[in-house]
């Protein structure tokens, strides 16, 4: 074959161009830390990568949601634990009150104690997580439990919420906590084991 300078020059140039292009590609890969530089470098893998990306996003959403729920539950749990403690205290006071040896001053002192416990119970019932009050489910930013004078704790929510929540402390030594919605009534009754 007849070889001319033009051929040698062209061959040299196109080969060196090819090499340069490869070096440039590898350099870009190193610099960006990515194998897929543009959609055309590997469309199939890119689609997979994008799908994996959105799945990763979904998973991180899940993780976030789970963490939020766990802290929510923890907060609710500790509130309930506190409420339980207060109720136990009240129960003890009730047992003390059942003792016939008390004079009227003692009864008044007991009643004051119960009032204080109720105040605490009210605060617990009004405790919130991220601005939401547990007992009010989705609604209760502005709904606060009121302590009623006749030692009856009433949680009155606006009519349209169709839900009422009552804490009752009655002289018969029974403590009712009832959550009343339209159809269902949850009732928690704490009663001294020994009948008086």
Residues lying near another protein in the complex (CB under 8 A) = 1-7, 10-11, 14, 32, 34, 36, 38-44, 46-47, 49-51, 53-55, 57-58, 60-61, 64-65, 68-69, 130-132, 136-141, 158-160
- Report the nearest approach of another protein to the CB of residue 140 (Å): 8
For another protein, which is the closer residue by CB, 58 or 189?
A: 58
- Report the nearest approach of another protein to the CB of residue 34 (Å): 6
Four-residue CA torsion sign, 19, 25, 29, 31: positive
- Report the nearest approach of another protein to the CB of residue 60 (Å): 8
- Report the nearest approach of another protein to the CB of residue 82 (Å): 22
Orientation of helix 43-98 relative to helix 104-125, angle to 10°: 170
Q: Report the SS3 class of residue 47.
A: helix
Helix and strand counts by DSSP (H, E) for the chain: 3, 7
For another protein, which is the closer residue by CB, 56 or 80?
A: 56
- Please provide the distance, in angstroms rounded to a whole number, between the alpha carbons at the two ends of the chain: 121
For another protein, which is the closer residue by CB, 96 or 132?
A: 132
- Report the nearest approach of another protein to the CB of residue 61 (Å): 4
Q: Report the SS3 class of residue 27.
A: helix
For another protein, which is the closer residue by CB, 108 or 158?
A: 158
| Angle, CA 148 vertex, CA 121 and CA 152 arms, to 5° | 70
Q: Report the SS3 class of residue 133.
A: strand
- C-alpha 141 chain-centroid distance: 16
Cα–Cα distance measured from residue 117 to residue 147, given in angstroms and rounded to the nearest whole number: 11
For another protein, which is the closer residue by CB, 54 or 195?
A: 54
């Amino acid at each position: 074959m007849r070889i001319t300078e033009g051929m040698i020059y062209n061959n040299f140039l196109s080969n060196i161009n090819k090499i340069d292009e490869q070096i440039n590609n590898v350099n870009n890969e190193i610099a960006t830390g990515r194998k897929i530089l543009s959609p055309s470098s590997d469309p199939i893998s890119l689609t997979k990568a994008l799908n994996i990306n959105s799945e990763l996003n979904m998973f991180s959403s899940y993780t976030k949601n789970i963490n939020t729920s766990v802290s929510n539950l923890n907060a609710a749990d500790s509130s309930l634990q506190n409420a339980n403690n207060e109720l136990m205290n009240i129960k003890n006071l009730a047992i003390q009150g059942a003792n016939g040896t008390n004079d009227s001053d003692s009864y008044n002192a007991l009643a004051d104690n119960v009032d204080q416990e109720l105040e605490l119970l009210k605060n617990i019932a009004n405790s919130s997580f991220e601005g939401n009050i547990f007992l009010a489910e989705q609604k209760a930013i502005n709904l606060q439990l009121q302590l009623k004078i006749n030692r009856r704790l009433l949680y009155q929510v606006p009519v349209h919420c169709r839900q009422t929540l009552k804490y009752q402390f009655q002289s018969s030594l029974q403590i009712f906590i009832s959550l009343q919605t339209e159809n269902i009534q949850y009732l928690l009754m704490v009663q001294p084991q020994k009948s008086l």
